[in-house]
Amino acid sequence: MAHKYINMKKKKTRKITAIVIICVLVLSGAACAAAGIYVYDVSVHAVNQERRPLACKKESLARHGFDVDAFEAQYHVDVVEIPSTFDDHMIPANYLSIDGDWKRDTVVMAHGLNGNRLTGYPVAKMLMAHGYNILTYDQRDSGENQAKYMTCGFWESKDFKDCVDYVRQRAGESQIGGWGSSIGGATIGFYLGTKEAQQNLDFAILDCPVSDMEEIIDVFLTRKAAWLPGSFKMKMGSLATWLRLGYSYKEGNVCDYVRETTVPVLVFNTKKDRVTPYHMGIDIYRAMENNKKKIVTVEDSSHTDIYWDHGEMYERGMIQFIENAADS
């Protein structure tokens, strides 16, 4: 009788243990899934929808003393839609010409998070004063671009390629360059790793660029979830992104893409940057092994404010670099 009781007790204990283990596994799986979905959602839907409209950026530029309407009135402006060859959406863009001649050297501009195609207008003004046409477009999930996901420059680089190809069709054999700020810098960085970039892009200017998708998601986009262990958070977010979109965060290091590029690249960065840390520009600069390159660092500007704070230096640095690149 005692032996039978002991066996029954052992079976009950094993059953309880199994239930506890299953519950722990289920809860652990649920925690992993919840963390992954959270990181995925806040990264691909990071654009502040209230700041998305063109009118919002127009007002922001006005606070800096920049009049969008007066700027556009000086030039020929074509509002165009470029079909995406990667995804089922149109890429809205403003194509600006000095005098209606589209066969001029042209710079394609890629804005950062919460920007739109008006963001780069102050830099466009500098470039157009030196004879360059401009094509500036809305990145994914920004401005009037209806593409669903913001991917920290990764898929955005496909739109950038389409914009460069569009300009090539209209500008002929004229030079084409790229200017990108923050995530727009990463956009161009990913593009620099392609064969098409070596053929079609004559120079690139990266302003406070993002160098690593994983780091920017960890330290900036998911900063409100600092209570989650960083490595766990990133592994789960990367897994969720891979399952849903087909790429992982490990594929999002810009340095891996710029390493072999032959396109001349100028990097602007600032030691006071609290969005893309100072080292990100340094990392991209050091990674490039086969091109003409230069880095310009300031001490005091906030993220992507260098051209506001040091306008003359910024303009001079850009033009000198572009002219030197053309001579190489």
- Please, what is the average pLDDT of the chain? 91
Q: Strand pairing of 176-181 and 293-298? A: unpaired
C-alpha 117: how far from chain center: 14
The answer on 135 and 38 residing in a single domain is no
Residue 235 shares a structural domain with residue 295: no
Do 167 and 135 touch, CB atoms closer than 8 A? yes
**Mean pLDDT confidence for 82-106:** 96
Q: Is residue 218 part of a domain?
A: no
pLDDT at 9 over 90: no
Q: How far is CA 89 from CA 57, 92, 261, in A?
A: 22, 10, 29
Q: pLDDT grade, residue 20 (50/70/90)?
A: low
Residue 89 inside a domain? The answer is yes
Average pLDDT over residues 69-83: 97
- In a domain, residue 205? The reply is yes
Instruction: Give the pLDDT score at 220.
Output: 86
Same domain, 139 and 276: yes
pLDDT band for 233, please (50, 70, 90 cuts): confident
The enclosing domain of 92 has a CATH number of 3.40.50.1820
CA distances from 59 to 64, 69, 137 (A): 9, 11, 18
Give percent above pLDDT 70 in the chain.
89
Say what the pLDDT of residue 229 is: 76
Q: Which pLDDT score, from 0 to 100, does residue 299 have?
A: 95
- Residue 92 CA, chain-centre distance (Å), reads 17
CA distances from 229 to 32, 222, 245, 258 (A): 12, 11, 24, 30
Higher per-residue confidence, 285 vs 231: 285
Higher pLDDT, 23 or 289: 289
Do 236 and 162 fall into the same domain?
no
Q: How many domains does the chain have?
A: 2
For residue 220, tell me if it sits in a domain. Answer: no
CB 182 within 8 A of CB 114: no
Q: Which range is least confidently modeled, 21-35, 83-97, 153-167?
A: 21-35
Enter the tokens of residue 63. Answer: 């606070």
> Is residue 10 one of the residues assigned to a domain?
yes
What is the mean predicted confidence (pLDDT) over 271-279?
95
pLDDT higher than threshold 90 for residue 326: no
In a domain, 223, yes or no: no
Q: Taking residues 130-152, report their average pLDDT.
A: 97
Same domain flag for 14 and 117: no
CB 160 within 8 A of CB 135: no
Indicate whether 23 and 147 sit together in one domain.
Answer: no
The mean pLDDT value for 256-261 works out to 98
User: 77 and 193 share a domain?
Assistant: yes
Q: Is the pLDDT of residue 175 over 70?
A: yes
Average pLDDT in the 288-304 region?
A: 96
Q: Is the pLDDT of residue 10 over 70?
A: no
317, 205: one domain: yes
What pLDDT sits at residue 3? 59
DSSP line for 248-308:
-GGGGBHHHHHTT--S-EEEEEETT-SSS-HHHHHHHHHH--SS-EEEEEESS--TT-HHH
Considering only residues 275 and 28, tell me which one the structure prediction assigns the higher pLDDT.
275
Q: Which of 160, 172, 153 is nearest to 136 (CA)?
A: 160
Q: What is the pTM of this model?
A: 0.91
Same domain, 131 and 242: no
Specify if 221 maps to a domain.
no
Q: Does residue 224 fall inside a structural domain? A: no
Residues 141 and 286 in one domain: yes
When pLDDT is averaged across residues 136-163 and rounded to a whole number, the result is: 98
Q: What integer is the mean pLDDT of 125-129? A: 98
pLDDT in tens, 241-257: 999 999 999 999 999 99
Tell me: do 110 and 197 sit in the same domain.
yes
| DSSP strand pairing (90-97 vs 133-137) | antiparallel
Please say if the pLDDT value at position 13 is more than 70. no
Q: What residues make up the domain containing 32?
A: 1-44+229-252
Q: What is the mean pLDDT of residues 302-319?
A: 98
Given a contact cutoff of 8 angstroms between Cβ atoms, the answer to whether 105 and 177 are in contact is yes
Question: 177 with 135, same domain?
Answer: yes
